[in-house]
Each structure stands twice: as C-alpha cells, then as structure tokens.
Structure 1
C-alpha cells in the first residue's frame, strides 16, 4: 500500500523569506521592499528616489539572496513541527522555485533546522513537476501546499486529483494576498493547517473535480 504524498513549497510556507530579503536589500542595496499590491517586482523601490526597480533588476537580487544569504531565513512558526507530524503519515517532498542551481543550498538550509526531505528546485508553474511526482510515488492520496495562486492553478490543470492548500505564513503579506481561486482551502496558521492536512490524509480520497462553469 503506497503512502500519501505531501508536496510543499518552502518560502513563506516553511521558511520566512520576504522579511529577511527586505532587511538584506535595504542594508546592502539601498532598496526598500514594500508590498502594496500582489506584484513582487513592484514592491521593490530605490530608497533615494522611490522609483520601482525594473523587472530585469529583480531576479539578480533574488539570485544573490539565494546564493549567499539563505542563512538569514528562519522557520515559519509551527511549520516544521507540523511537517514532523505529517511525516508520520505521508511522504514529503519540497518543491521550491529557487531553481536547480540553488537546490542543494535549500537542502542544506532545511537540514540546519533538522528537516530532511527530498527537495526539487524548479522553475515556472508547478503543475508538471507535481504530476511527475504523482507518477513517481503513486500515492494513495496527494496534497499540495503553496503561497502563490498561480501554482494552485497550474496544479489544478495538470493534477486535478491533488488536494491544494493555499498557505501564506508571513503575516506581513498574508492580508495582501487574496485566497487562491484554485485551492481547496486557505489557511495561514500552521496548527489549523496541520489539522486540515491530516484530515485529508485520513479520508484518503482524491480531491473533488472542479464544478462546471
């Protein structure tokens, strides 16, 4: 009998990212990070003049952060404890959009907090990698956790039988992000999220098909 499978994002789900990133770009690059809408790029502004950074300037900053500053990140309250409880019932895979080049650093980062699970550093929509993981693990039931609505849409298209939990663990941005239309639930507190996840695993049934429009 195959075990359930939980596929989870990392940044703002397991680990704080925007707050340590904001502190770093302020101190080292003279850039303020202020989320005023759903646009990550639009939240980055030059301190001296307040103009937003160009989109092409954003990824090099993110890349530099993940390349050398991941030690600044710290766990979302309750996340790793919940993962330990969930691991008793399910296999866990971390699917993170830091890209293949930062995959090993992410493994090492999580290991420092005594969290050990397979990590996949992906790019783009997560639907296809989730589908491949389902094909690989053949789980009895599968569940996906992410803070970005676009990934829930992608998974809904590619692997509709997977339960989808929208979780934004960073309070600084949670109230600025609307619930993902293609998620089955929105829960930002890990104690409540753990209960919801374990209930889905115990039910052991696929996620319901979307209602016809």
Structure 2
C-alpha cells in the first residue's frame, strides 16, 4: 500500500508572510499594510496620503518580496516540528501559490530551516494540482492544509476524497478570517493540527463528501 500524502501551503501555514511583508513595504516603499485579512484588497495604502494602491501596483510589490525578500520570513511556531513528525508517517508536498518563477527560491528558503520536501509553485485554485498529485502518488489517504478558504472549495470540487484542514498560523490575521466552509476542520496551532492530521492518517479512510459548514 502506498504511503499517505500531506499537501501543505507555505505562507501563513509553515512560514510567516504578511508581517514581514508589511515591515518591508513600510520601510522600503512608504506603504502601510493594514492587516485585516489575507486578501490584500484595500490593505495597502500610501503612508503620505492614505490612498489605497491600485490593484496593478500590488502584484509588483508581492513579486519583489518573493524575488528578493523571502529570507525575511520565519517559521510558524511548531510547524516544522509537526512536519518532521508527519513526515515519518506520510509523504509531504508543499503546494504554494508563489508561482513557478519563485519555486526554487521557496525550496531554498525551506532548506535553510532544514525542511526538505517537493515544492510546487502554482497559480490559481489548488484543486487541479491537488488532483494531479493524488493521481501521481496514489496515496492511501491524503490531507490538504491551507489558510485560504477558496483553495479548500477548489480541492473539495476536484479531489473530494482529500481531508481538508483550514489553518491560519499568523495570529495577526487568524481572528479576522472565518472558518473555511469546505474544510473539515479549522485549527490554528500546530500542536493540535499535528494530532488531527496524524489521526486522519491513522484512520486511513477517505474524507466525507463536501458539505459546506
């Protein structure tokens, strides 16, 4: 029988992102990032006048951060210890929406923290890449971990047998984000998340059909 598979996001799941990003755009670009949620909508404002940045201005900042400043990021408490424990029982793949162009940098970033796993830099909804991973690995059971509700919905549609854990590891935004309707559980600390994931692997049964909560 093939090993279980855990597919995890990186930003705000394994590594802090919005806080180091906010510190960087403030110091280097004169932009204030008001951390209200993870959407970035109207969150970035010019310090000198308070006007929101246009949508077309946001991606270049994010791209610049991931090109040059990823080393500002630091692990979510307990995340890498949990990955080590989970890795003894399952294969792990990091599925991150930084895009293919930043995939290698993400591999190197995680390696600096002694975490070595396949990394896929994707774009858009994660349902299709999760489905492809399931077809490739053919795991006995699979768990998906992400901080964004939209990805849980996408995975529920494309790979409904995969267990889905909604985890927001950044305290600055966790209490501002509602539980993902298509996730099977919402847990924001890795000690409890580790127990939940290992329990799903031990049960070794497919996730129930998608029913929004």
TM-score by length of 1: 0.98
Name the SS of the counterpart of 2:172 in structure 1.
helix
Name the SS of the counterpart of 1:42 in structure 2.
coil
Name the SS of the counterpart of 1:180 in structure 2.
coil
Partner of 2:191: 191
Q: 1:38 to 1:95 in 2, by over 3 A?
A: closer
User: Is the CA contact (8 Å cut-off) linking 1:95 and 1:122 kept in structure 2?
Assistant: yes
Partner of 2:75: 75
Counterpart-to-counterpart distance in 1, 2:37 and 2:13: 19
User: How large is the RMSD of aligned CA atoms in angstroms?
Assistant: 1.2
Partner of 1:56: 56
How far has the Cα of 1:36 moved from its partner? Answer: 3.1
Partner of 2:40: 40
How far has the Cα of 1:212 moved from its partner? Answer: 9.3
How far has the Cα of 1:57 moved from its partner? Answer: 0.6
Name the SS of the counterpart of 1:41 in structure 2.
coil
Partner of 1:176: 176
Partner of 2:7: 7
User: Is the CA contact (8 Å cut-off) linking 1:4 and 1:201 kept in structure 2?
Assistant: yes
Counterpart-to-counterpart distance in 2, 1:38 and 1:87: 28
TM-score by length of 2: 0.98
How far has the Cα of 1:210 moved from its partner? Answer: 2.8
Partner of 1:122: 122
Counterpart-to-counterpart distance in 2, 1:130 and 1:86: 18
Aligned residues: 213
User: Is the CA contact (8 Å cut-off) linking 1:41 and 1:54 kept in structure 2?
Assistant: no
Partner of 1:136: 136
Name the SS of the counterpart of 2:139 in structure 1.
coil
Stretches of structure 1 that go unaligned for 5 or more consecutive residues are none
User: Is the CA contact (8 Å cut-off) linking 1:41 and 1:58 kept in structure 2?
Assistant: no
Stretches of structure 2 that go unaligned for 5 or more consecutive residues are none
Name the SS of the counterpart of 1:81 in structure 2.
helix
How far has the Cα of 1:39 moved from its partner? Answer: 3.2
Listed one character per residue, the Cα deviations across residues 84-120 of structure 1 (whole Å, up to 9, x for unaligned) are 0000000000000000000000000000000000000
How far has the Cα of 1:40 moved from its partner? Answer: 1.0
Counterpart-to-counterpart distance in 1, 2:77 and 2:137: 29
How far has the Cα of 1:65 moved from its partner? Answer: 0.2
Name the SS of the counterpart of 2:42 in structure 1.
helix
Counterpart-to-counterpart distance in 2, 1:21 and 1:63: 11
